[in-house]
Amino acid sequence: MTYQHTIIIGNVGRDPEFKYTPQGVAVCSFSVAVSKVTGRGEDRKETTTWFRVTLWRERAETASQYVKKGMRIMVAGEVSARAYLDKNNQPQATLELTASDFRFLDSRADSASGEGGGGGGAARRPQGGSGGGTDYPEEPGDLPF
């Protein structure tokens, strides 16, 4: 038996797309940018990795109501890589994360306006949140690694 579980923390790149499959199952997808900064001063470099996040059923319905472009979010699930040819017939790749859980963190708008800063980055979740019974840490500092 093999098992893979990935946790990402980043900013939502676009508002979610929400729909139902022909079988009536809710599905929601959006992109998340995860940035990493290395170096200092003139050697400072920021690299961004994009993930296409997909949520299903109740989590999809919740995300479609509350997730917005620019929000800071933590998403946990299984990652897969997919190769494809773009419109110019050039090879491209994408990272797709099928989410099993997610948490809302401070958004860029909240950080810029000073709102939400008193929580020290604590997750804010609407009633019913991400559910699922999986108890992931609510602050990045609480991650077990």
Q: Answer yes or no: CATH 3.40.50.300 is held by domain 1-21+65-115.
A: no
pTM listed for this prediction: 0.67
Q: Residue 10 pLDDT more than 90?
A: yes
User: Residue for token digits 């919740």?
Assistant: 62
For the chain, the maximum distance between any two Cα atoms, rounded to a whole number of angstroms, is: 54
pLDDT at 25 over 90: yes
Handedness of CA 20, 58, 132, 63 (dihedral sign): positive
pLDDT of 47-87, one tens digit each?
Answer: 899 999 999 999 999 999 999 999 999 999 999 998 888 88
Tell me the pLDDT tens digit for each residue of 105-143.
874 555 444 333 333 333 344 433 444 433 333 444 444
Q: In angstroms, what CA-CA distances link 120 with 19, 35, 83?
A: 34, 20, 39
Separation between Cα atoms, residue 9 and residue 34, nearest integer Å:
6
Asked if residue 51 lies in contact with residue 79, where contact means CB atoms within 8 angstroms, the answer is yes
